[in-house]
């Protein structure tokens, strides 16, 4: 058991290191400097990656929530809890990094653009889900409540994804990128996704162990 834990942690650390090295070296050395925004544009490499992970985490929450409602197996609740925590973190980072970028690009920290608004709604849903979890003291009740909120909240995900296409706003849709910039962006997406996948996996292992204890 101890050996398994240690090897899991080591694997996590290696992946974390890989992700960070790839991202930092990519953003600083490989990606060229943006002609109009300068170095502030490099925020995009983090912003897009965490935003993608925030959406993915909500989809994971809804899927594991549905799995829990079908099977009543608390292991799915552990997945849901882990995804909610990392999703909330990603969503917060999305709002913060987006706000910094907006200040540089648009001269304002916040605007009620459709995509920003829908991401903010997503953040509120994550927060509500975590607050509700804290209120329920019975584990199956807690799991059921989170599952229902996750499934209802997942309806916001298509809105976030399509906000720039369905509604007119300021947020860029899919801007043309220089190939090296695109490569770094894809690398960043891959590294962050791997990193958060491992974080969610490790966290659910810890939570699942608490259930069986």
Q: Are 129 and 143 in contact (CB under 8 A)?
A: no
CA distance 81 to 149: 12
Q: Which is nearer to another protein, 39 or 139 (CB)?
A: 139
Give the nearest distance from C-beta 144 to another protein in angstroms: 6
CB of 103 to another protein, least distance (A): 24
Q: Which two tokens stand for residue 118?
A: 């829908």
Segment 130 to 149, residues that bind another protein, using CB under 8 A: 131-132, 135-141, 144-145, 147-149
Please report whether residue 72 would count as binding another protein according to CB under 8 A. yes
- Per DSSP, the three-state class of 119 is helix
Q: Please, which residues have CB within 8 angstroms of residue 199's CB and are 6 or more apart in sequence?
A: 12, 82, 86
Q: How far is the CB of 125 from another protein (least distance, A)?
A: 5
**How many chain residues touch another protein (CB under 8 A)?**
30
Question: What is each CA distance from 10 to 3, 15, 44, in whole angstroms?
Answer: 10, 9, 29
Least distance between another protein and beta carbon 81 (Å) = 15
3-state helix, strand, coil in the chain (%, to 5): 85, 0, 15
Give the number of other CB atoms < 10 A from CB of residue 123.
18
Segment 100-129, which members bind another protein (CB under 8 A)?
117-118, 121, 124-125, 128
Residue 147-186 contact track with another protein, rule CB under 8 A, x = bound = xxx-xxx-xx--x------xx-------------------
Q: How far is the CB of 147 from another protein (least distance, A)?
A: 7
Q: What is the CA radius of gyration of the chain?
A: 19
Tokens 């970028």: give the residue.
101
CB of 211 to another protein, least distance (A): 10
Which residues of the chain form contacts with another protein (CB under 8 A)?
A: 69, 72, 117-118, 121, 124-125, 128, 131-132, 135-141, 144-145, 147-149, 151-153, 155-156, 159, 166-167
């Amino acid at each position: 058991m101890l050996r398994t834990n240690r090897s899991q942690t080591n694997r996590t650390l290696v992946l974390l290191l890989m992700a960070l090295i790839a991202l930092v070296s990519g953003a600083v050395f490989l990606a060229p400097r943006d002609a109009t925004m300068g170095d502030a544009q490099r925020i995009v490499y983090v912003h897009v990656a965490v935003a993608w992970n925030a959406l993915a985490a909500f989809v994971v929450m809804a899927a594991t929530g549905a799995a829990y409602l079908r099977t009543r197996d608390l292991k799915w609740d552990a997945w849901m809890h882990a995804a909610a925590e990392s999703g909330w973190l990603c969503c917060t980072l999305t709002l913060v990094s987006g706000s910094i970028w907006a200040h540089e690009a648009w001269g304002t920290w916040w605007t009620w653009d459709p995509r920003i608004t829908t991401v903010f709604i997503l953040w509120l849903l994550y927060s509500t889900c975590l607050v509700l979890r804290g209120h329920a003291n019975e584990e199956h009740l807690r799991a059921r409540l989170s599952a229902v909120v996750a499934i209802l909240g997942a309806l916001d995900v298509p809105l976030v994804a399509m906000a720039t296409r369905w509604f007119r706003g300021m947020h860029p849709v899919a801007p043309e990128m220089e190939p090296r910039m695109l490569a770094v962006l894809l690398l960043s997406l891959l590294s962050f996704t791997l990193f958060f996948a491992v974080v969610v996996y490790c966290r659910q292992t810890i939570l699942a162990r608490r259930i069986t204890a």
